[in-house]
Amino acid sequence: FDVELGQAIAKRLGVKAEFVEGKWDGLIAGLDVKRYDAVINEVGITPQRQAKYDFSNPYIVSKAALIVRSDNTSIKSFADLKGKKSANTLTSNFGKIAQANGAEIVPVQGFNDSIELLASGRVDATINDSLSFLDFKKHQPNAKVKIAATDANADASAVLFRKGNPELKAAIDKALAQLKADGTYLKISHKYFGADVSK
């Protein structure tokens, strides 16, 4: 998704995108040493990052999604987790949301483990990233899981670049606006997630 969006932005800017792959931990550091001009990898907008870097307008939004089996009719909201088992990584914000709503946490390594436990009936729910869920459902449309609720608080991600380049920010924001206006963004979004992930 990010690569295709990056290509579409570059096309609008009249440049050819050159992609540099890197481990997540080193992406922002690579910007510092001018290894590349921008990071398009769902970098969340945080006050700490805003103090040091500039961001484009947001291009993707993720929410905490309460995921249950398709046949579950008893869990409709986060509050319904009270006394239920939720598969989550222990240190994640999603696990904290589950605990705050009275769920018993069944520890897992990641998203796939959570879905496996849920599908097999060993847990009642999992709270996970809405984008991960949409990606999973796109590849496994027959999986017997659904989103029962999403958290009102959304995390927006944007293109990240070094401070002091207002022309680049303005150009990328303009390109993103054009891609949304002409339907290109929606097409890319549906290709990868089966939904509009801009809001």
Could you read off the pLDDT of 125-155 as tens digits, one per residue? Answer: 999 999 999 999 999 999 999 999 999 888 9
Confidence of residue 92 (pLDDT cuts 50, 70, 90): confident
User: pLDDT digits over 155-194, tens only?
Assistant: 999 999 999 999 999 999 999 999 999 999 999 999 999 9
Angle formed at CA 189 by CA 115 and CA 196, multiple of 5 degrees: 80
Contact 67, 133 (CB under 8 A): yes
Measuring CA to CA, how many Å separate 9 from each of 90, 139, 175?
37, 26, 6
User: pLDDT at residue 26 above 90?
Assistant: no
Rg (C-alpha) for the chain, rounded Å, is: 19
DSSP secondary structure code for residue 195 in this structure: S
Count other Cβ atoms within 10 Å, centred on residue 105.
Answer: 19
Q: Domain-by-domain residue ranges, the chain?
A: 2-59+155-193, 61-153
Average pLDDT over residues 113-124: 96
For domain 2-59+155-193, give its CATH number from 3.40.50.720, 3.40.190.10, 3.30.590.20, 3.10.20.10: 3.40.190.10
Q: Do domains 2-59+155-193 and 61-153 have the same CATH topology?
A: yes
Average pLDDT over residues 6-20: 95
Which helix (H) or strand (E) element contains residue 41?
strand 39-44
Q: Is 34 left (phi over 0), alpha (psi -120 to 50) or beta?
A: left
Average pLDDT over residues 13-18: 94
Amino acid 196: pLDDT: 94
> What does the alpha-carbon distance between residue 55 and residue 49 come to, in Å, rounded to a whole number?
9
61-153 topology per CATH: D-Maltodextrin-Binding Protein; domain 2 (3.40.190)
Confidence of residue 123 (pLDDT cuts 50, 70, 90): very high
Amino acid 22: pLDDT: 84
